[in-house]
Amino acid sequence: MTERTLVDLQPCQEGKVNSISGGRNVNKRLYELGLNKGAKFKILKNDVGPIILSLSGNKLALGRGLANKISVV
C-alpha cells in the first residue's frame, strides 16, 4: 500500500492522521493546532493554494509543503 498524504485527498474526503514527518517545530505547531496522530478531519478545499480542512469543527489552512509531510489513512 502506498503512503498517502493530505495533498492526495480530494474535497469531501475524510481521513485520519497516521504520522507526521517533520522536525520538532513542525510537530509542535501541528500538535498545538490539534492535528496530531489519530486526529480525524475532512478536506474542504484542495485545488490551488493552501489545503483547507475541517478539524473538530474548526477550519484549518495548511500550505502544500506542510500538508505533504502529513501521512493519512
Residue 42 CA, chain-centre distance (Å), reads: 9
What CATH number does the domain containing 24 carry? Answer: 2.30.30.90
User: In this predicted model, what pLDDT tens digit does every residue of 7-61 receive, in sequence order?
Assistant: 999 999 999 999 999 899 999 999 999 999 999 999 999 999 999 999 999 999 9
% the chain with pLDDT above 70: 99
- Domain of 23 in residue numbering reads as 4-72
Q: How far apart are CA 61 and CA 6, in angstroms?
A: 12
How many domains is the chain built from? 1
H/E element, 26: helix 24-33
Is the pTM of the predicted complex or chain greater than 0.75? yes
